[in-house]
Amino acid sequence: MIDLSIDCGGIKSPNPFWLASAPPSNSAYQNCKAFEQGWGGTVWKTIGEPVMNVCNRYGSIDYNGQKIAGLNNIELISDRPIEINMKEIAETKKLWPDRAVVVSLMVESKKESWHDIVKRTIDTGADGIELNYGCPHGMSERGMGSAVGQVPEYCKMITEWVTEISTIPVLVKLTPNVSNIVMPARAAKAAKASGISLINTINSIMGIDLNTLKIKPSVAGKSSHGGFAGPAVKPIALHMVSQVALDKEVKLPISGIGGISNWQDALEFILLGASSVQVCTAVMHYGFRIVKDMIEGLTFWMEEKGFHSLDEVRGKALPQIDDFGNFNLLHKTVARIDQAKCIHCNLCYIACEDGAHQCIDLIPENGHTKTIVRESDCVGCDLCSIVCPVEGCISMVRLDDGKEQKTWNELTNDFKNEGKELTWENLGEFQKKYGIVIH
């Protein structure tokens, strides 16, 4: 039996897959339709201040034939009245008592405003609250959204206003538009938040139409910065989730967000410490049905690997993350090309010759060129295998046995203990002393 159920800061759901606070979670109709497909939870599209949205809200980056590799939006929070949203939240929770219904909130920075909307949210029977400290467009200009998330003191103050009266779990959604994501996360922890959601969208301008010279999206000839999401932001999101998960002061459950399109993406977030995962852009692209593949794929993977619950999986990749100074300098790999699979496109040669370390030779053979790696000069950078279009054609082969380790921190500290500071002039002496060959 595989158990996909999760508990994210006191908010429980039958599986980790939640809709993110966004257009797909805007109404009872949409959220109930999502639950019918199998979604474990939803974070209701942010409600709060009166707004009016505009036409032409989205811009996208299409790359190499893939539509919406990245999606930019200038959409604001829900433009439906609070009363209608609250009514539908209550109705949805009654219809789906086993699913997580979390309500995203954002109002002006006044204690009485926050107290009022929090009390009204609790009255709906919702399972939790998510504080939107992340919107980079529109609301930040009004002193809300990322304007709060970028200032830890504001983050702490408003979160305290909420947690002092909330009787249900409170998640704090953080903006990635900061220099250090850990600081607002610590502020949320200090304010007694139940968990952290991250990341919200990344500040961006999507591009310019070179025929009309208009910035995309264009609203009657005007545009602005917006929030960037979709598959392209996943590496940034994974990094920030891992930063929060590893911080010894935060120690809060995490709801991971950012570029999740399939079960593999979701699993990566879980392996880096996330309890639940939230999805938006992929649903806007492909619809609610994608959750069926997510549930099935994650279940099969767990069966294959011998895991029974997500508690056994969560955070298993975190111990691999370390400082550069603790890497083993004796770890040595070189590239090897499977000539039987090579299609002689020479991309590996071009990449190595112009962008790396000039250690691949072109040898004429039977009317074409054969690519050969000079292993004595190969630094094991892995660029050639990355650009190779043939799966498994170029492999990075390990040469060291892994028995001996020497890290930069260890060796430089040892050098200092002998009264020497490492300089370019004595780098050769340093390498020779410790048996490290640097190309």
End-to-end CA distance of the chain: 52
* Active-site choice (8, 32, 55, 135): 135
Query: What is the spatial distance between Cα 176 and Cα 25, in angstroms, rounded to a whole number?
Result: 22
Instruction: Determine whether 342 is an active site residue.
Output: no
Residues 6+ apart with CB under 8 A from 81: none
Host H or E run for residue 183: helix 182-190
Considering only CA atoms, which of 308, 141, 343, 313 is closest in space to residue 225?
A: 141
Cβ-in-10-Å burial (0-12, 13-18, 19+) of 257 comes to buried
Query: What is the spatial distance between Cα 142 and Cα 113, in angstroms, rounded to a whole number?
Result: 15
Query: What is the spatial distance between Cα 211 and Cα 119, in angstroms, rounded to a whole number?
Result: 51
Cβ-in-10-Å burial (0-12, 13-18, 19+) of 387 comes to middle
Secondary structure of 33-53 as H, E, C letters: HHHHHCCCEEEEEEEECCCCC
Query: What is the spatial distance between Cα 263 and Cα 261, in angstroms, rounded to a whole number?
Result: 7
Residues 6+ apart with CB under 8 A from 233: 70, 199, 201, 202, 258, 259
Residues tagged active-site: 135
